[in-house]
Amino acid sequence: MTRSIFRTLMMLMAWSCFGVGLTALADGETVRPASTASACLVKIGFIPIDGVEGRLDHLTWDGRSKRLFVASLENHTIEVIDLESRRRLRQIVGVNEPQGLLFIPERSLLLVCSRGDGTCRSFDGDTFLEGPWIDLGRNADNIRFDPDSKVLYVGSAGEPGEGLLSAIDLGSLLPVAKGGVAAAPRSPADFLLDRPRQADPRMDLQLPSHPESFQLDPVNHRILVNVPDEHEIAVVQVASNRLTKAAAWPVTVGQKNFPMAFDANSARLFIACRIPPRVAVYDTHNGAMLSQMPCVGDADDIFYDGKQRRLYVVGGEGYVDAFEIRADGRESAQLGHVPTAPRARTGLFLPDLNVLAVGAPRTPGNQAGIILFRCLQ
């Protein structure tokens, strides 16, 4: 097969699979295989984010409006990006080092966790007016939502010192006009501190150090938490009024186990370590490590695609690694080592679109923006 015929076939595959609603993403881009070793990821676009300096942290997504939200940690802003028009719609300013983001479409609610002041703040997803907030002390980071119990979980504190995992009722972060329940004042001083807009956690759990990425396992009423300074995965049992650390699974393949992904259907947990760069696969029935393999360096996000049984590892070394995950737990086959951009270590997998979005910070010779890849079947 000649190179021109191969390129034509790849373009047809990318366009036919990407979907009618987002064809604008590939306008003006040359669709090409992202790696000579594999065509599992094809670059389909780049959305520039002008004027943004420093590190980009986590992303979240509103599938209804096709908006992507990006935490610009060192720029102290949230970038709101329209994927269809391939441009930034607006910028939320004055956020003190945003890290973890979560968008709840049913409530049109954006939640922002900040490293700088330790808060979890809420914003109306339509007007972007700020609503209730909660003070978690310091270094609020990853956030997850259990839609069944309507409870949010946030990891915070540590670095150095004890870490914290907090459970927060969603209603406490909603405006009263949208069904929220205002926090009751606890003292006269609360009225001076805007207490009715400041929420409280329902419950929390102290951990020996800062929690990094964690995943909810609602069927087993537990949370699986990376605690890198302890070289472990903490297993936290969830009850109606209490969080309890029930077990700790050792991480022996490396240090700095920051990112995590979970597949409930196969009871598989995936983590990535930075020193040395490795991916490990665990059986969540018993916490046994099933396999390990080398991966891209400086990983901060990993995503599992259950339909295609693939794992995507996003690393600041400037690549995304794609792995085929085998059902029997044996060492996974690497499908691609796909170039992105320097220090591009966070991203978001959009399964409904089969798209992987990677946040690329501004570096010498490179503009800040979002790199878009099509995940080919």
- Note the pLDDT of residue 188: 55
On the question of pLDDT at 111 being above 70, the answer is yes
- Note the pLDDT of residue 227: 98
Model confidence band, residue 21 (pLDDT cutoffs 50, 70, 90): very low
Q: Where are the domains of the chain?
A: 3-375
Tokens representing residue 223 in the block: 């949370």
pLDDT digits (tens, 9 = 90+) for 221-249: 999 999 999 999 999 999 999 999 999 99
- Note the pLDDT of residue 19: 42
3-state class (DSSP) for residue 364: coil
The answer to pTM > 0.75 is yes
On the question of pLDDT at 358 being above 80, the answer is yes
- Note the pLDDT of residue 38: 53
286-318 burial string, b = 16+ CB within 10 Å, else e? eeebbbbbebbbbbbbbbbbeebbbbbbbbbbb
Lowest-confidence pick of 201-205, 294-298, 323-327: 323-327
With contact defined as beta carbons under 8 Å apart, do 163 and 211 qualify? yes
- Note the pLDDT of residue 10: 41
Averaged pLDDT, 21-48: 59
Show the CA angle centred on residue 264, arms to residues 349 and 237, nearest 5°.
Answer: 110
Residues of the chain with pLDDT > 90, as a percent, come to: 80
> Is residue 160 reached through a cis peptide bond, with omega within 30 degrees of 0 on the bond before it?
yes
- Note the pLDDT of residue 180: 82
> Is residue 105 reached through a cis peptide bond, with omega within 30 degrees of 0 on the bond before it?
no
Averaged pLDDT, 74-102: 97
Rg of the chain (C-alpha set): 21
Contacts of 245 (CB under 8 A, 6+ apart): 205, 207, 234, 235, 236, 237
- Give me the CATH code for the 3-375 domain, please: 2.130.10.10
On the question of pLDDT at 273 being above 90, the answer is yes
With contact defined as beta carbons under 8 Å apart, do 38 and 310 qualify? no
With contact defined as beta carbons under 8 Å apart, do 198 and 186 qualify? no
